Chain A
Amino acid sequence: MTDSLRALAQRRWRVAISLTVAMVAVYFGFITLIAFNKPLLGRLLAPGLSLGILLGAAVIVASWLLTAIYVRWANAVYDADLQRLRSTEPEDTA
């Protein structure tokens, strides 16, 4: 029983750290472009809409998407597994 708890903890950790790394990559990718390729971000995609402004908004949208992915996973998969563990192991010894 404890083994399945341990496995669930590890699965949760892997999901959490992967999504954190994705967030870090998105944001620091944006910052690195700002720092090292300013002309690229100044390019206009449409009148008034520079790539920089679009990517800035995209960072915010990416934050939303990543949180949505996590919450979906946690609600559908993690909670169900945790519930199963609880029902097979009702006694709490912690």
Chain B
Amino acid sequence: MIQTAPDTAIGQSNPVAIGFFFAFIGVTFAITYWAARRTRTTDQFYAAGRSISAGQNGWALAGDYMSAASFLGIAGLVSTTGFDGLIYSTGWLVGWPVVLFLIAEPLRNLGRYTFADVVALHRRQRPVRIAAAIGTLATVIFYLIAQMVGAGGLIKLMFGLSYEAAIVIVGSVMILYVLVGGMIATTWVQIVKAVLLLGGAFLLALLVLARFGMNPAALFAAAAERYGAGVLSPGQQVSNPLDAISLGMALMFGTAGLPHILMRFFTVPDAKAARTSVFYATGLIGTFYLLTFVLGFGAMVLVGPETIRAVDRGGNMAAPLLAEVLGGTPFLGFIAAVAFATILAVVAGLTLSGAAALSHDLWVNVVRGGHAGAEEELRIARAATVLLGIVAVALGITFKGQNVAFMVSLAFAIAASGNFPALCLAVFWRKATTTGLLASMVLGTVTTLVLIYLSPTIQIDILGRPAAWFPLKNPALITIPLSFVAGVIGSLATQKSARSELDSFPARERRMLRGEG
């Protein structure tokens, strides 16, 4: 495949990329070492001692969210399909205002380390914690698989390493960050990565626009002139309107149910800082997605869709190829290192939130019935980190060569249907009961998994069957309303037996506004 594009250094080991990569590793290890001395309590391990400022958390949220899939994937999609790729650029952002309006502040005031804290507050701990932990782990695992498989493929292409070696390196470095430096190190890795990624994308966009008189419309016009006016209007990707709406719902409400994003709101001192941090994050992430307009069309015009597909069929190398055209091998090396750093940071955030679910929710509050010391909890959280890291590496190797792109939208669908409705009902609805919240979480997660299995994505694209039982690629259109309805019916049916839960609503509402103190 690489021989068909002989004029690129992609796929050969690139000294600049390796240099930048080691610089990133050096800086982040220094941060981890510094963070290790501030990571002695559970508050510090899970929540950075609530010491992260709103500005820092804004950058870290952006770092947690802007994965290699959005940087490389959207640039690739736009460069090969034009406008259709931009549908994702907008879809990935619109969940953030929802996080701000509905989730960030109540979550900060009601919880300590995990979103299960909030759903389980004043309710029967064991069942709620188990259900919330399953939703968390399902989201985290599918997200991790997509990142790990992407990492293996990308690093192989960009650094010339073997797939397995790449996965093991990502897994070990990530375990080290989380194990030693906890949330403080994870936060700063996100910040460094977000600055690099936004800086790299900005520089790349600037170099593209410089060739078009700093006028994006001139760039789009050049794309239309070469590849037809069709690249500027919606095309084949959106053939089924319901599919587009369903995917849109998963993206919009899934963001507000992603455990590694929700966990970040516990790292700031108060609800006001949580609010401000989402404002910053929305600004940063929106800027990034606007830049993908320029990067995608820039790669289309300056590199060409044929060359991009020849290097990688999925189009993922569009941004690195663009960097090579504009800045030669050194700039390619820089962008490759940024992509690697991006993956490392995202998997670290995911692993930490999974470890919190295993330790804080399942071990402390289910197995030990809430009676575990802080030291024991910290020990279990660290063990869970190592376990999840090993699982991530094993899954990354197991799914080698498989089509896992759908797993990110699967993670969003579970977050949107399993986690988000229960969180909303638990926070805002005075009649929500344990049974209702359980029904919402379990039904939301299970129907999402079943409908994805029955969808064309699995049945036709992966299993090669002629038809699928369920017509939509993403089930959110069905599963989000279903999860809300299950929550409402389950709650209304148990109003009498859950008296004390209902009576505690004023206390919850008070804490939601005022916080604990």
| A residues whose Cβ falls under 8 Å from a Cβ of B | 2, 5-6, 8-9, 12-13, 15-17, 19-20, 23-24, 26-28, 30-32, 34-36, 38-39, 41-42, 44, 46-50, 52-53, 56-57, 59-61, 63-64, 66-68, 70-71, 74-75, 79, 82, 85-86, 92, 94
Q: Is B90's CB within 8 Å of the partner chain A?
A: yes
- Are B516 and A34 interface neighbours, CB within 8 A? no
In the assembly, what is the distance between CA of A6 and CA of B508, in Å? 11
Q: Which of B221, B229, B244, B509 contacts A34 (CB 8 A)?
A: B244
Residues of B within 8 A of A28 (CB): 245, 248
Which residue of chain B has its CB nearest to the CB of A60?
B286
Which residue of chain A has its CB nearest to the CB of B222?
A48
Q: Is B101's CB within 8 Å of the partner chain A?
A: yes
- Are B293 and A64 interface neighbours, CB within 8 A? no
Q: Is B126's CB within 8 Å of the partner chain A?
A: no
- Are A60 and B289 interface neighbours, CB within 8 A? yes
Residues of A within 8 A of B509 (CB): 5-6, 9
Within the complex, the shortest CB–CB distance from B199 to chain A, in Å, comes to 19
Within the complex, the shortest CB–CB distance from A33 to chain B, in Å, comes to 8
In the assembly, what is the distance between CA of A49 and CA of B428, in Å? 43
| B residues whose Cβ falls under 8 Å from a Cβ of A | 83, 86-87, 89-91, 93-94, 96-98, 100-102, 105, 216-224, 229-230, 232-235, 238, 241, 244-245, 248, 252, 272, 275-276, 278-279, 282-283, 286, 289-290, 293, 428, 506-507, 509-514, 516-517
Which residue of chain B has its CB nearest to the CB of A12?
B513
Within the complex, the shortest CB–CB distance from B253 to chain A, in Å, comes to 9
Residues of A within 8 A of B275 (CB): 71, 74
**Could you write out 15 A-B pairs with CB less than 8 Å apart?**
A5-B509, A6-B506, A20-B98, A24-B252, A28-B248, A36-B241, A41-B234, A42-B234, A48-B221, A53-B83, A56-B86, A60-B289, A64-B286, A66-B97, A86-B514
Within the complex, the shortest CB–CB distance from A92 to chain B, in Å, comes to 7
Residues of A within 8 A of B217 (CB): 46-49
In the assembly, what is the distance between CA of A53 and CA of B296, in Å? 13
- Are A63 and B94 interface neighbours, CB within 8 A? yes
Residues of A within 8 A of B286 (CB): 60-61, 63-64
- Are B278 and A48 interface neighbours, CB within 8 A? no
- Are A57 and B101 interface neighbours, CB within 8 A? no
- Are A2 and B279 interface neighbours, CB within 8 A? no
Residues of A within 8 A of B507 (CB): 94
Q: A46-B217, A63-B286 are in contact. Are A23 and B94 (CB under 8 A)?
A: yes
Q: Which of A9, A27, A59, A68 contacts B512 (CB 8 A)?
A: A9
Q: A2-B506, A94-B514 are in contact. Are A67 and B220 (CB under 8 A)?
A: no
Which residue of chain A has its CB nearest to the CB of B256?
A20
Residues of B within 8 A of A32 (CB): 241, 245
Residues of B within 8 A of A5 (CB): 509-510, 513-514
Within the complex, the shortest CB–CB distance from B473 to chain A, in Å, comes to 14
In the assembly, what is the distance between CA of A60 and CA of B95, in Å? 11
- Are B233 and A48 interface neighbours, CB within 8 A? no
Residues of B within 8 A of A48 (CB): 216-224, 232
In the assembly, what is the distance between CA of A39 and CA of B93, in Å? 25
Residues of A within 8 A of B278 (CB): 67
Residues of A within 8 A of B234 (CB): 34, 38, 41-42, 52
Residues of B within 8 A of A19 (CB): 97, 101
The dominant DSSP class at the B interface is: helix
Which residue of chain A has its CB nearest to the CB of B87?
A34
Within the complex, the shortest CB–CB distance from A22 to chain B, in Å, comes to 9
Among A6, A20, A75: residue with most chain B CB under 10 A: A20
Q: Which of A17, A27, A44 contacts B232 (CB 8 A)?
A: A44
Q: A27-B90, A59-B94, A63-B97 are in contact. Are A42 and B232 (CB under 8 A)?
A: yes
The 10 A-B residue pairs whose C-beta atoms are closest, nearest first, are: A42-B233, A48-B221, A35-B241, A48-B220, A50-B232, A48-B217, A16-B101, A59-B90, A49-B217, A27-B94
Within the complex, the shortest CB–CB distance from B394 to chain A, in Å, comes to 38
- Are B283 and A35 interface neighbours, CB within 8 A? no
In the assembly, what is the distance between CA of A71 and CA of B99, in Å? 13
Within the complex, the shortest CB–CB distance from B484 to chain A, in Å, comes to 14
Residues of B within 8 A of A24 (CB): 252
Within the complex, the shortest CB–CB distance from A42 to chain B, in Å, comes to 3
- Are A53 and B90 interface neighbours, CB within 8 A? no
Which residue of chain A has its CB nearest to the CB of B101?
A16
In the assembly, what is the distance between CA of A68 and CA of B286, in Å? 13
- Are B102 and A20 interface neighbours, CB within 8 A? yes
Residues of B within 8 A of A27 (CB): 90-91, 94, 248, 252
In the assembly, what is the distance between CA of A30 and CA of B512, in Å? 34
- Are B96 and A67 interface neighbours, CB within 8 A? yes
Within the complex, the shortest CB–CB distance from B350 to chain A, in Å, comes to 24
In the assembly, what is the distance between CA of A59 and CA of B497, in Å? 46
Within the complex, the shortest CB–CB distance from B286 to chain A, in Å, comes to 5
In the assembly, what is the distance between CA of A82 and CA of B517, in Å? 13
Q: A34-B238, A47-B217, A94-B507 are in contact. Are A71 and B101 (CB under 8 A)?
A: no
Q: Which of B220, B252, B511 contacts A50 (CB 8 A)?
A: B220
Within the complex, the shortest CB–CB distance from B508 to chain A, in Å, comes to 8
- Are A56 and B220 interface neighbours, CB within 8 A? no
In the assembly, what is the distance between CA of A56 and CA of B241, in Å? 17
Which residue of chain A has its CB nearest to the CB of B252?
A27
